[in-house]
Amino acid sequence: MWILVAGIALQGAQQGPQQPGLPDWMAGCWEQKSEGRWTDECWTSARGGMMLGSNRTGAGEAVDHWEAMQIAVADSDDPAVPKMAFWAAPRGVTRTMFIWVPSAKAGVSFVNQANDYPQRIRYWRDGEQLLAEISLGDGTRPMRWRFSRPATR
């Protein structure tokens, strides 16, 4: 079943905001280049209730930051179990969970108010580009990325 939410088709979504679908529209590899710096982000397609992601940032051939990520849905009627969560592990350590929250904004948003920074992670599409934003829970101190598909190497 496909449901259209905020202009984006979500596969496997049920009616209403209580059961989100995985954001398969994020799948693939993306890059941003600016002033000699680059960021690469890749996401697997949705399968088995999850998507796996990786991100690395650097300049030239040097990587100065990397992160392992996961988005997973829970098949549970227990209200204590998040319907969908984003897991982030900067440099592969200290895995942190962000809970999916319904939003009037396009895309998908995850929140963890207890985390120092970021507290909110949001992804959305603008045509052929993938946009990402991290911020505090109230939206202040935003950092944004505008990713495009990489040119063939």
CA-based end-to-end distance of the chain: 36
Per-residue pLDDT tens digits for 69-86 = 999 998 777 877 789 999
For the chain, what are the domain ranges? 23-147
8 A C-beta contact, residue 1 and residue 12: yes
CA separation for the pair 8, 75 (Å, rounded): 22
C-alpha distances in angstroms, 140 versus 36, 104, 135? 27, 18, 6
**Which CATH architecture group holds 23-147?**
Beta Barrel (2.40)
| pLDDT tens digits, one per residue of 84-113 | 999 999 999 999 999 999 988 899 999 999
DSSP bridge pairs for 28: 43
* Backbone φ, ψ for residue 26 (5° rounding): -90, -15
Enter the pTM of the model.
0.83
